[in-house]
């Protein structure tokens, strides 16, 4: 039996689909299922049982002998939330309890860390040296909470038999519809174009355009901020690989290893819709301006060194599949 937390969310629900596609049906999913907007993500998936996030540890105490592995994706991911108590409860202490359970019961564990741990990137994006975690200065409480757990895990004298902390970079893809402001720029670009196209159908005036944040850093021109964008299907392929890997526990970057501009991204969305590009620039909101990452690019050598050799989607191919295969029809994976 596999436990997936955050299973009604973005990456978690895609992971359940991956497991189903691999023939795995003995899955227990955990999440906050009170948010109806997320329920469509699990509507057509096969699993054994659904457990409320707050009741998971009671459930585990009665079923520990059946658990073969835990994929802990659930977390508070809102980078605009600044109440550290929220992150301490949901991202730090909850994950510690899962770690301790997996250690005590000798169960492999995979958990979601984040590229937000790297802060402004001044120390690079290298996952080889565990000591780097103690030097990093994340730019927001979300990143701090993820880095605090990474540091805590590295300090533990005892650990699960295999464990992998995955530093996800900028993930996009199906099943993120509920994320609101925290959804990917691909999703927001599509929505802006679609809303403008609907307006045009009513008025007869074509106004389709996408708004991007203006650069407030003299080293980057507007729209040329760089991020390592990774399609969610690549993310779940990495998780599947690690589920079936032996040894080599530790922290791993999960990106493509190739930074691309927001202009590249938006142009790819327009191309997937067979529309000419139209982009406007707006000021970055004050509440996130001094915490904004202008460049991220994962060093992927560590993951490749343990045998992961599957090619990643290009930005264009991932966006084309996401837009045409999911966003246009509102489909789920």
Active site residue 142: yes
- Look at residue 207 and tell me whether its pLDDT is greater than 60: no
pLDDT above 90 (res 281): yes
Catalytic residue among 96, 151, 179, 302: 179
Q: In this structure, is residue 144 part of a structural domain?
A: yes
Alpha carbon 229 to chain centroid, angstroms: 10
Q: How many domains does the chain have?
A: 1
Residue 279 within a domain: no
Whole-number average pLDDT of the chain: 94
Catalytic residue among 111, 125, 142, 164: 142
Please indicate, yes or no, if residue 265 is contained in any of the structural domains.
no
Q: Which of 86-95, 96-105, 184-193 has the lowest mean pLDDT?
A: 86-95
SS (H, E, C) 202-223: HHCCCCCCEEEECCCCCCCCCC
Per-position b or e across 275-284, b if 16+ CB within 10 A of its CB: eeeebeeeeb
Q: What's the rounded mean pLDDT across residues 140-159? A: 96
Strands, DSSP E only, in 12-108?
A: 27-31, 49-52, 69-72
Radius of gyration of the chain (CA): 20
Check residues 4 and 77 and name the one with the higher pLDDT.
Answer: 4
Average pLDDT of the segment spanning 44-62? 97
pLDDT for the residue 63: 96
pLDDT band at 88 (very low <50, low <70, confident <90, very high): confident
Q: What range does the domain containing 248 cover?
A: 2-173+229-257+296-313
Residue 197: the pLDDT is: 53
Within a domain: residue 94?
yes
- Say how far apart CA 23 and CA 41 lie, in whole Å: 19
Sign of CA dihedral 74, 112, 228, 287: positive
- The CATH number for 10's domain is 3.40.50.720
Predicted TM-score of the model (pTM): 0.95
The fraction of the chain above a pLDDT of 70, given in percent, is 96
Active site residue 38: no
Position 292 pLDDT exceeds 80: yes
**Per-residue confidence (pLDDT) for residue 205, from 0 to 100:** 52
Q: Is 194 part of any domain?
A: no
- For the chain, first and last CA: distance in Å? 22
Could you tell me the pLDDT band of residue 202, with boundaries at 50, 70 and 90?
very low
Is 196 inside any structural domain?
no
Mean pLDDT for 185-206 is 72
């Amino acid at each position: 039996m596999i436990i997936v937390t955050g299973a009604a969310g973005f990456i978690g629900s895609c992971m359940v689909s991956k497991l189903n596609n691999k023939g795995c049906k003995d899955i227990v999913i955990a999440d906050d299922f009170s948010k109806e907007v997320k329920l469509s993500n699990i509507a057509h998936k096969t699993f054994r049982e659904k457990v409320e996030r707050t009741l998971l540890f009671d459930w585990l105490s009665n079923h520990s002998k059946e658990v073969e592995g835990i994929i802990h994706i659930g977390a508070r991911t809102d980078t605009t939330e600044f109440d550290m108590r929220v992150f301490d409860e949901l991202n730090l202490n909850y994950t510690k309890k899962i770690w301790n359970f997996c250690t005590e019961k000798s169960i492999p564990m995979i958990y979601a860390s984040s590229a937000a741990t790297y802060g402004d990137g001044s120390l690079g994006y290298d996952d080889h040296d565990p000591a780097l975690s103690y030097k990093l200065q994340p730019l927001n409480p979300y990143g701090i909470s993820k880095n605090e757990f990474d540091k805590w895990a590295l300090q533990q004298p005892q650990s699960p038999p295999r464990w992998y902390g995955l530093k996800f970079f900028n993930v996009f893809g199906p099943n993120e519809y509920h994320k609101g402001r925290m959804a990917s720029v691909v999703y927001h670009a599509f929505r802006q174009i679609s809303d403008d196209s609907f307006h045009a159908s009513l008025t007869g005036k074509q106004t389709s355009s996408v708004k991007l944040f203006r650069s407030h850093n003299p080293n980057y021109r507007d729209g040329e901020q760089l991020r390592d964008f990774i399609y969610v299907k690549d993310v779940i392929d990495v998780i599947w690989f690690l589920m079936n890997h032996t040894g080599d526990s530790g922290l791993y970057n999960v990106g493509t290893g190739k930074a691309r501009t927001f202009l590249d991204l938006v142009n790819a969305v327009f191309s997937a819709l067979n529309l000419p590009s139209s982009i406007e620039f707006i000021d970055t909101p004050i509440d996130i301006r001094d915490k904004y990452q202008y460049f991220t690019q994962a060093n992927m050598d560590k993951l490749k060194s343990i045998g992961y050799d599957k090619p990643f989607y290009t930005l264009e191919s991932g966006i084309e599949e996401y837009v045409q295969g999911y966003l246009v029809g509102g489909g789920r994976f």
